[in-house]
Amino acid sequence: MASQGIIAYFTMEIALKPAIPTYSGGLGVLAGDTVNSAADLSMPMVGVSLLHRKGYFYQRLDASGWQREEPVAWRVDDYLHEQVERVTVTIEDRPVQLRAWKFEVVGVGGHRVPVVLLDSDLPENSEWDRTLTDHLYGGDSHYRLCQEMVLGVGGVRMLRALGYGNVHRFHMNEGHASLLTLELLDERLQSSGRATITDEDIQAVREQCVFTTHTPVAAGHDRFPMDLVHRVVGHHGAFDLPEIFCCEGALNMTYLALNLSDYVNGVAKRHGEVSRQMFASYHIDSITNGVHAARWAATPFQRLFDRYVREWREDNFSLRYALSIPRHEIWAAHQRAKRALIQYVNRETNAGMDVDILTLGFARRAATYKRADLLFHDPERLKAIAANVGPLQVVYAGKAHPQDNAGKGLIQRIHQVRDTLRGAVSIAYLENYDMRLGKLLTTGCDVWLNTPQPPLEASGTSGMKAALNGVPSLSILDGWWVEGCIEGITGWSIGEHWQQATDVDNAKDAASLYDKLERAVLPIFYDRREQFIDIMRHAIALNGSFFNTQRMMQEYVLNAYFL
């Protein structure tokens, strides 16, 4: 395979298509959108991830709203092609054999980007090693570190075995992949016959590596105690070098990536600022995330764009012409997308939702900082708004991490509120949030609600999917919305100014949310429909045309890959 100038994109999760459960949420969806846009732009790229035979998990909610997890069942060989090459990684002094399965992403002009998914389920391996590529984010930190060996070290070895001798840049999508830097150092030692790492080695590896950090939340940055690292990884010369390897008796994957990358970025302008505060001695740029326009536009909007903005798939910027699409056409496409959602909600939950009622959507990981229950801070006020200003209904979805009981409690609390508000505001919580449901929700609601506790939302991409489909956001000013919100034009902010982490005040934010519903969202939706549709058009033309992975990839090419 030709590999001159290729970009190798390493990611622990990737959402290739709805039937392949190799992702958990935003990070994986972004990775999938990235490789799709790379293919559209005919970029030389290869993706590397793990097979995740059992996926993240299938979410069921019992009658009380408590989450139960089941492994996801899928047939690997229905979607992927096994490669003949095998490589070995040493984990805890044992050789672990790996094979690769290939998926090909085909761009709009026919260019192909292969994605290689590593698999340890081979008869040569021990029973336990065979499970290493089963569960995404499953198990304990020992399991996770072994998986990161497979991804980082195994990934580089597999690329070499597949003929990618000359990789121009290794892009680490989050710190999970940063053990690849150790393998790159080892390659230099082996080819030079030296035993110790020199400054030139470090510099040469740095010049090959790009690192994107994705979250200000501490739990999102992997740290492994050094005794575990010695046991799993063995001893590595890099461990003796403080300029690579810092930090209080632990291996911090974020610092390893920061220290061995020439270019580092956060995923929105605000997140770049927050990351520069977190990692003050590093130069950290920002490239704002996006979504893949053709993957996330609902069918009725795809048809509409095909008619009015013919080249939108090749040139996402041209979506600015959405301003000239007649209002009644925008509304008709939206109603079709909305009917699909409401029918699904009613079929799945028997909520009896009505297509003519303003529908708020909220779908994200059920982590407490996302504050899924902010809307219910004052249920009496919400009831009064629905009774006096205009009816509303709310559709929820989202998984809690299997070990996050607080997150599971949040899902349960929304079920309880649903029961107390019955008859006043209808609420549904859909099971098993995934790409397919993500698309149904972001295209079928009228307004997309987002209430994270600032500054913890690095970017957020579901609001971008909504915007592309003419669904304005009502959101806290954090992540991408700091850049995307033009008040009353592309949507609405909750809380006027971006807040410091210390100012978090649920009562104040909830009051602002109720004010916006009462004074802006509901009256415009029910009484000034033309104005509402203008906001929908602006969401597409101003935000859909910009917050896409095509623009994002062009920034990576200019600022990160080909410096």
Ligand X SMILES: *Cc1c(COP(=O)(O)O)cnc(C)c1O
- Reduced to 3 states (helix: H, G, I; strand: E, B; else coil), residue 221 is coil
Which C-beta is closer to ligand X: that of 263 or that of 344?
344
Minimal distance, residue 439 CB to ligand X, in Å = 7
Longest Cα–Cα distance in the chain: 78
CA angle 142, 143, 146 (to 5 degrees): 90
Within 319-338, which residues bind ligand X (CB under 6 A)? none
Q: Any contact of residue 462 with ligand X (CB under 6 A)? A: yes
Of 115-123, 170-178, 461-469, 538-546, the segment contacting ligand X by CB under 6 A is 461-469
Beta bridge partners of 68: 60
Which C-beta is closer to ligand X: that of 184 or that of 414?
414
Q: Any contact of residue 32 with ligand X (CB under 6 A)? A: no
Minimal distance, residue 370 CB to ligand X, in Å = 8
Minimal distance, residue 267 CB to ligand X, in Å = 10
Minimal distance, residue 498 CB to ligand X, in Å = 18
Which C-beta is closer to ligand X: that of 272 or that of 460?
460
Got the DSSP string for 38-67? HHHTT--EEEEEE--TT-S-EEEE-TT--E
Q: Any contact of residue 429 with ligand X (CB under 6 A)? A: no
Of 103-111, 170-178, 188-196, 457-465, the segment contacting ligand X by CB under 6 A is 457-465
Q: Any contact of residue 461 with ligand X (CB under 6 A)? A: yes
Minimal distance, residue 318 CB to ligand X, in Å = 23
Beta bridge partners of 104: 114
Q: Of 21, 26, 402, 444, which one interacts with ligand X (CB under 6 A)?
A: 26
Q: Any contact of residue 101 with ligand X (CB under 6 A)? A: no
Minimal distance, residue 501 CB to ligand X, in Å = 19
Name residue, tokens 């708020």.
360
Which C-beta is closer to ligand X: that of 152 or that of 290?
290
Which C-beta is closer to ligand X: that of 24 or that of 545?
24
- Alpha helices (H) along 245-352: 253-259, 269-278, 293-296, 299-308, 327-349
Question: How many residues bind to ligand X according to rule CB under 6 A?
Answer: 13
Rounded to the nearest 10 degrees, the angle between the axes of helix 327-349 and helix 529-538 is 90
Q: What is the CA radius of gyration of the chain?
A: 24
Which C-beta is closer to ligand X: that of 255 or that of 547?
547
- From the number of C-beta atoms within 10 Å of its C-beta (0-12, 13-18, 19+), residue 160 rates as middle
Q: Any contact of residue 491 with ligand X (CB under 6 A)? A: no
Of 53-61, 161-169, 307-315, 458-466, the segment contacting ligand X by CB under 6 A is 458-466
Of 208-216, 306-314, 376-384, 459-467, the segment contacting ligand X by CB under 6 A is 459-467
- 297 closest CA partner among 283, 284, 307, 285: 307
Position with the least CB separation from ligand X: 438
Of 109-117, 417-425, 434-442, 469-477, the segment contacting ligand X by CB under 6 A is 434-442
Query: Distances in Å between the alpha carbon of 325 and those of 189, 296, 332?
Result: 60, 19, 12
Which C-beta is closer to ligand X: that of 156 or that of 366?
366
Q: Of 216, 272, 460, 472, which one interacts with ligand X (CB under 6 A)?
A: 460
Of 134-142, 460-468, 470-478, 519-527, the segment contacting ligand X by CB under 6 A is 460-468
Q: Of 438, 470, 491, 544, which one interacts with ligand X (CB under 6 A)?
A: 438
Q: Any contact of residue 294 with ligand X (CB under 6 A)? A: no
Q: Of 183, 434, 446, 478, which one interacts with ligand X (CB under 6 A)?
A: 434
Which C-beta is closer to ligand X: that of 364 or that of 538?
364
CA-to-CA distance for 12 and 3, rounded, in angstroms?
A: 22
Beta bridge partners of 289: none
Got the DSSP string for 109-160? TS-EEEEEEEE---TTS-HHHHTTTT-TT-S-HHHHHHHHHIIIIIHHHHHH
Q: Any contact of residue 309 with ligand X (CB under 6 A)? A: no
For 515, phi and psi rounded to 5 degrees?
A: -60, -45
- 550 closest CA partner among 311, 238, 218, 219: 311
Within 346-375, which residues bind ligand X (CB under 6 A)? 364
Q: Of 105, 153, 244, 435, which one interacts with ligand X (CB under 6 A)?
A: 435
For 235, phi and psi rounded to 5 degrees?
A: -90, 140
Q: Any contact of residue 433 with ligand X (CB under 6 A)? A: yes
The single-letter DSSP state of residue 318 is G
Which C-beta is closer to ligand X: that of 170 or that of 296?
296
Range 103-106 contact pairs with CB under 8 angstroms and sequence separation of 24 or more = 103/16, 103/20, 103/79, 105/16, 105/35, 105/36, 105/38, 105/39, 105/47, 106/39
Which C-beta is closer to ligand X: that of 256 or that of 367?
367
Determine if the peptide bond prior to 455 is cis (ω within 30°). Answer: yes
- 159 closest CA partner among 264, 79, 83: 83
Which C-beta is closer to ligand X: that of 9 or that of 433?
433
Q: Any contact of residue 452 with ligand X (CB under 6 A)? A: no
Minimal distance, residue 527 CB to ligand X, in Å = 30
Q: Any contact of residue 544 with ligand X (CB under 6 A)? A: no
Cβ neighbours of residue 282 under 8 Å, at least 6 residues apart?
Answer: 258, 264, 276
- 475 closest CA partner among 502, 454, 500: 454
Q: Any contact of residue 29 with ligand X (CB under 6 A)? A: yes
Q: Any contact of residue 472 with ligand X (CB under 6 A)? A: no
Residue numbers at the binding site for ligand X (CB under 6 A)? 25-26, 29, 364, 433-435, 438, 460-463, 465
